[in-house]
């Protein structure tokens, strides 16, 4: 009883601390928005806007730094001004997001992508670190093709130069299942690893099985440490057919199969059942976070192939 009493008090204090932190964050965000608005309005009232604006920020920064500290340099004030210009409607600000969230979002120039990241950060409770990682890995842009490609798995902590077995990668995914679900996208729920499926004569094991609660279907993932082959495609086709016959219920939509491979030859994709199938897909993965240019090159190749 005494131990439960102490835990209850601790929980009350932790909840209070969380509420105070959220309130403080919201106050900071709204305050910076108001400062940005006032700067923009004051600049617009100047006779020579650019010259006047530069001098205004310089003088304002000098005064604020002297009184409130280093966080109000000219560069900081320009960012606060940009914050108001990018998010001009005060009522649209989300109290769930901190100033650091918003500051990170300001670096996303594409308005559609920025809106997506903001909404997902709120709905999925992304930390600033998760938001930064998803922006850097072009998470939004990789949703454009029919299937995300490539998948970026740098969170597994595996050295790209080392040779791993499929079991090694599978184990790393299970150990980082929350991050893997985030990379898969919204709607995925983990079902099982090495899912056992038995026919009249043989037993097979599917690497990873998920259920997509938005699409209402099972998603099978087969891991490959080599490049995509015709044999891989045939194997996944068999898994999907077996799952459809033995596991899919009347309420489920058709099962999807994803071959997650080190790389894939577009010729194999084009001249295989992947080209026409609405249930079979192949996607590559990277164990390191590629550069933005490298990711864009892969995405452009994917769009040309789809077109």
- CA distances for 299 relative to 60, 256, 302, angstroms: 44, 22, 5
Interatomic CA distance for residues 237 and 256, integer angstroms: 10
Here the tokens at position 105 are 């979002």
Phi, psi of 179 (to 5 degrees): -65, -35
Specify the pTM: 0.71
- Highest CATH level, class, for 147-306: alpha beta
Buried b (16+ CB within 10 A) or exposed e, 240-279: bebbeeeeeeeebeebbbbbbbbebeeebbeebebeeeeb
Listed by start position, the domains of the chain span 1-93, 147-306
Residue 72's closest CA among 102, 96, 39? 39
> Cis ω on the peptide bond leading into residue 150 (within 30° of 0)?
yes
Mind listing the pLDDT tens digit of every residue in the chain (307 residues)?
Answer: 577 867 877 888 888 887 878 888 999 999 999 999 999 988 887 545 556 666 888 899 999 999 998 889 999 999 999 999 999 999 999 999 999 999 999 999 999 999 999 999 999 999 999 999 999 999 988 876 657 878 999 999 998 888 899 999 999 999 999 999 989 988 899 999 999 998 888 999 999 999 999 889 999 999 999 999 999 999 999 999 999 999 999 999 999 999 999 888 878 887 788 888 889 999 999 998 887 777 777 677 654 444 4
């Amino acid at each position: 009883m005494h131990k439960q009493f102490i835990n209850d008090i601790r929980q009350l204090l932790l909840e209070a601390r969380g509420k105070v932190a959220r309130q403080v964050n919201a106050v900071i965000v709204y305050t910076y928005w108001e400062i940005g608005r006032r700067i923009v309005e004051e600049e617009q009232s100047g006779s020579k806007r650019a010259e006047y604006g530069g001098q205004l920020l310089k003088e304002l920064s000098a005064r604020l730094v002297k009184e409130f500290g280093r966080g109000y340099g000219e560069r900081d004030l320009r960012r606060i001004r940009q914050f108001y210009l990018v998010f001009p409607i005060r009522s649209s600000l989300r109290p769930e997001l901190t100033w650091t969230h918003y500051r990170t979002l300001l670096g996303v120039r594409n308005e559609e992508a920025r809106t997506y990241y903001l909404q997902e950060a709120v709905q999925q409770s992304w930390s600033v670190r998760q938001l930064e990682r998803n922006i850097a890995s072009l998470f939004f842009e990789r949703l454009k093709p029919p299937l995300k490609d490539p998948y970026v798995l740098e969170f597994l902590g595996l050295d790209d130069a080392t040779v791993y077995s499929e079991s090694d990668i599978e184990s790393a995914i299970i150990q980082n299942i929350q991050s893997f679900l985030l990379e898969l996208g919204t709607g995925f729920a983990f079902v099982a690893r090495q899912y056992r499926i038995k026919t009249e004569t043989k037993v097979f094991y599917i690497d990873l099985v998920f259920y997509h609660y938005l699409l209402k279907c099972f998603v099978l993932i087969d891991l490959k440490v080599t490049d995509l082959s015709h044999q891989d495609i045939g194997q996944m086709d068999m898994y999907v057919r077996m799952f459809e016959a033995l596991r899919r219920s009347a309420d489920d939509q058709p099962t999807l199969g994803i071959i997650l491979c080190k790389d894939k030859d577009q010729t194999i994709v084009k001249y295989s059942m992947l080209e026409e199938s609405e249930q079979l897909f192949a996607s590559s993965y990277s164990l390191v976070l590629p550069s933005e240019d490298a990711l864009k090159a892969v995405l452009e190749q994917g769009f040309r192939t789809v077109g």
